[in-house]
Amino acid sequence: MSSVNEDYITSYIREITPERTGQLKSLEEYAKENNVPIIEPEVGQLITLLLKLHRPKEILEVGTAIGYSALLMAESLQDDWSITTMERNPAMISKARENFKESPYEDRIKIIEGDARETFPHLTKKYDFIFLDAAKGQYMEFLGYARDLLKPGGLIVSDNVLYKGMVASDDLVVRRKRTIVNRLREFLEYINNMQGYTSSVLPLGDGVALTYKEENLI
């Protein structure tokens, strides 16, 4: 079970979390059968709640995969909105386009193809909500671009920031993951001390960080 919590806690939370239906349920099954990483149910529920509270109009996602999280967000949005999502894997892009086409939201979701480190610098649009769910070792670099694109009063949500608990304890660190762990520790230390921002790290799923940009920042 992919979670930083005790299994019994995660199991209980998932038992009381409403199950997805329709296309989202089908995508969950596809992801499980094909070993495609998607956001955990409890993280999806958190994002759903945040979107309903925050009511963003312009959303940026870094890491499309098969399009599951973009479609989950789409179902939680109201009125006029758009989602821009970035992905570098051609197979994932193809599958995501297929899934978007089968949804009611194809005309509202735009995929930017390519490595986010190369495509991020070319973005100029401002966003109300940014979801980071791509290469964990690149979160610090992504943050630099995300901060500039985030509107005052906007929110950045970063997934998998505790990385199977390794970020919180050296006893759990696998040697080949040391670099990613160190970079995530740097990232979490940084966002919790950024002037003009307020962050919180939640032990939900594989760890989620919320970063709010104060409204008086430009």
Map out the domains of the chain as residue ranges.
7-213
- DSSP 8-state symbol, 80: S
Q: Which residues contact 86 (CB under 8 A, 6 or more apart)?
A: 60, 61, 62, 63, 64, 111, 112, 113, 114, 116, 119, 120, 134
* pTM: predicted TM-score of the whole model, two decimal places: 0.96
pLDDT category of residue 7 using cuts at 50, 70 and 90: very high
Distance from C-alpha of 17 to C-alpha of 157, rounded to nearest angstrom = 20
CB 204 within 8 A of CB 46: yes
CATH fourth-level superfamily of 7-213: Vaccinia Virus protein VP39 (3.40.50.150)
**2 pLDDT higher than 80:** no
Mean pLDDT of 152-171: 96
> What are the backbone dihedrals phi and psi of residue 89, each rounded to the nearest 5 degrees, phi first?
-85, 115
**114 pLDDT higher than 70:** yes
Sign (positive or negative) of CA dihedral 24, 112, 127, 42? positive
Q: What is the pLDDT of residue 193?
A: 97
Query: What is the rounded average pLDDT for all residues in the chain?
Result: 95
Mean pLDDT of 173-181: 94
Q: What is the pLDDT of residue 218?
A: 62
pLDDT category of residue 215 using cuts at 50, 70 and 90: confident
